[in-house]
Structure 1
Amino acid sequence: MSKRKAAFYSMTIPALLLFFTFHTFPTLQGIFYSFTNWDGYSDGYDFVGFKNFKALFTDENVLNAYLFTFKYAIVVTVLINVISLLIALGLNSKIKFRNFFRGVYFLPNVLGVLIVGYIFNYIFANAIPTIGEALGSETLAINILGSEKWAWVGIVIVAVWQGIAFNTILYLAGLQTIPRDLYEASDIDGAGKWETFRSITFPMLASFFTINMVLAMKNSLMVFDQIVALTGGGPGRATQSIAMLIYQGGFQGGEFAYQSANAVIYFIVIVIISVVQLNFLQKREMDA
């Protein structure tokens, strides 16, 4: 065996073993348990077939968690991409301290999600209400994280604030690939800023838009850390996402097998949404 092949196998095989041990095997184990009634801590279990999967479709808590997660994911995905694209366009223009602002906007991406969540928890629960009381504003004096109606808005604010960093960098990279000749020709033809954006900038950013939309949607559907740090799924179950429900029911509520079935279903849902979204946006790229 040549030294090159030996080096290849010495790096590849350990990586594959680690991936199988900590990713593939637990996944297969979870699928196996989804067909049982194991509670997560007892010694024995029985096979129940598709009973867990059938029960999911009539479980009100599961349905509410799906509705909340989809609502949250759609709002966050749209806001992240709109705001990050606007920021990228601004940072790509000729402004002072452009590189400094690029670093500032990327900073949230390197911060831990839980750390950011706990900081915003303090802001929403203490800082803003204190300021609201000082100003005599009843609206600001309320802790929105304690409201069943508005708690999800606080989670959206944190997710968008942290999520725009990565998307902005990708859009900036995309803007660098657009030939300046196109903009010069557009100026000669007398096209306005909106027409230039609609006819040149956005079509040329189509592939980056696809990547950002798919990643933002996928990350939003898997929301967990922000909810742990901000609301814990409350008040009540108002902000309980699917990931949060799986964690609470599977590891704290004695529903390991049942929530394993929920995780299998949710994995399939995420894959379907990602594939459909990717195909639709890629088709749009070709049309553009």
Structure 2
Amino acid sequence: MKNARKRNLSLLLYCLPALIVYLAFKLFPAISGMYYSLTNWNGLNKSYEFVGPSNFLELLTDDYFWDSMWFTFKYVIVSVIIANVAALTLAVAIESCRRAKGLFRTLFYMPNMISMVIGGYMWMFIFTKVLYYLADNWGWSFLDHSWIGDPNYSFIAIIIVAAWGAVGYLMIIYMAALQGVPANLKEAAAIDGANAWQNFWKIIFPLISHAITICVFWSLNSGFQVFDVIYTLTGGGPGRATQSVAINIYQEAFRGNIRYGYATAKSTVLFFIVLIVTAIQLKLTGRKEQEL
């Protein structure tokens, strides 16, 4: 018992610096934000009034906020599916290679090493300059679209850039899970006459379900908080057509008529929505893992 307590105490001491940072820069701002959501503070003045639930009542009739919420849900659904399918496909393809695995890992992981703000401006140049050049000079007329100015194509552009930035990270997780699948199970299935497709779905896929849970969890949370990709590509435009909840909160808190209390009310609503969606996802995927 005494040895166990010493071990737990030593582990706690090792984790203490990270715990202090988390409490100071994550937990405390979140809790204080919930308090400010009940005030009319503008983020600058020392004096403010407690207004109770009035910010949340106003939120119920805020069409711009609910439009941005709908766009965020649409973005999350599409980006989670595309990023995870692409990452798993790349992981399987690279693990199937006999040579140059390290090269392919590096190439596909490199976008994750670049800030998405920088990546967004890089892709802005591609969408506004390079694609038009290819359409005009190479005859690729299918690229001749207003990728930023047209709401339909701007959504596609956002998904492309978001997937480009996320696939490499998810791919590494899937590759680690694939490497943990026992080779003898795959060999036994092949001997029994299973082809590559059957081997993947019947043997490999169930054994990497824990990685799928992790990747879907990560991509869901990052999807609901998307800011940098949209901010650098479209700024939420044209108009408000590609405005995510994070962009909407940012503009409420720091642009125009600054209403920090109202913005934190929006943040609180987003927090609980993400909490509910994440809990449902973990419940469903956890039950699926138990069945397998």
User: Taking structure 1 as the reference length, what is the TM-score of the superposition?
Assistant: 0.93
- 1:194 Cα deviation from its structure 2 partner: 1.7
1:281 partner letter: T
1:186 maps to 2:189 = yes
1:37 maps to 2:40 = yes
CA change 1:236–1:213 in 2 (3 A) is same
Deviations 1:267-287 (A, max 9, x none): 111111111101100101111
Which of 112, 115, 123 does residue 112 from structure 1 map onto? 115
Partner of 2:3: none
Q: Is the 8 A contact 1:133 1:140 kept in 2?
A: no
- 1:57 Cα deviation from its structure 2 partner: 1.9
1:285 maps to 2:266 = no
1:140 maps to 2:140 = no
Kindly report which structure 2 residues correspond to 1:229-244, keeping only aligned pairs within 5 A, or say none.
Answer: 229-244=232-247
Partner of 1:210: 213
Partner of 1:260: 264
1:149 maps to 2:152 = yes
Partner of 1:171: 174
- 1:19 Cα deviation from its structure 2 partner: 3.2
User: Taking structure 2 as the reference length, what is the TM-score of the superposition?
Assistant: 0.91
CA change 1:199–1:9 in 2 (3 A) is closer
CA change 1:19–1:189 in 2 (3 A) is closer
- 1:252 Cα deviation from its structure 2 partner: 1.4
Q: Tell me, what secondary structure is at the counterpart of 1:146?
A: coil
Partner of 1:271: 275
Deviations 1:230-276 (A, max 9, x none): 11111110111111111111111312111100001101111111111
Instruction: Provide the rounded CA distance (Å) in 2 between the counterparts of 1:115 and 1:66.
Output: 26
CA change 1:96–1:264 in 2 (3 A) is same
Instruction: Provide the rounded CA distance (Å) in 1 between the counterparts of 2:31 and 2:75.
Output: 29
Q: Tell me, what secondary structure is at the counterpart of 2:174?
A: helix
- 1:143 Cα deviation from its structure 2 partner: 2.9
CA change 1:170–1:5 in 2 (3 A) is closer
- 1:138 Cα deviation from its structure 2 partner: 4.8
CA change 1:136–1:16 in 2 (3 A) is closer
Q: Tell me, what secondary structure is at the counterpart of 1:38?
A: coil
Percent of pairs identical after alignment? 36
Instruction: Provide the rounded CA distance (Å) in 1 between the counterparts of 2:84 and 2:176.
Output: 14
Instruction: Provide the rounded CA distance (Å) in 2 between the counterparts of 1:187 and 1:85.
Output: 21
1:258 partner letter: Y
1:81 maps to 2:84 = yes
Q: Is the 8 A contact 1:117 1:226 kept in 2?
A: yes
Partner of 1:227: 230
Q: Tell me, what secondary structure is at the counterpart of 1:149?
A: helix
Instruction: Provide the rounded CA distance (Å) in 1 between the counterparts of 2:163 and 2:8.
Output: 45
Q: Tell me, what secondary structure is at the counterpart of 2:152?
A: coil
CA change 1:170–1:259 in 2 (3 A) is same
Gaps of 5+ in 2: 1-5
Gaps of 5+ in 1: none
Instruction: Provide the rounded CA distance (Å) in 2 between the counterparts of 1:12 and 1:182.
Output: 38
Partner of 1:196: 199
Q: Is the 8 A contact 2:91 2:175 kept in 1?
A: yes
Count of aligned residue pairs for this structure pair: 286
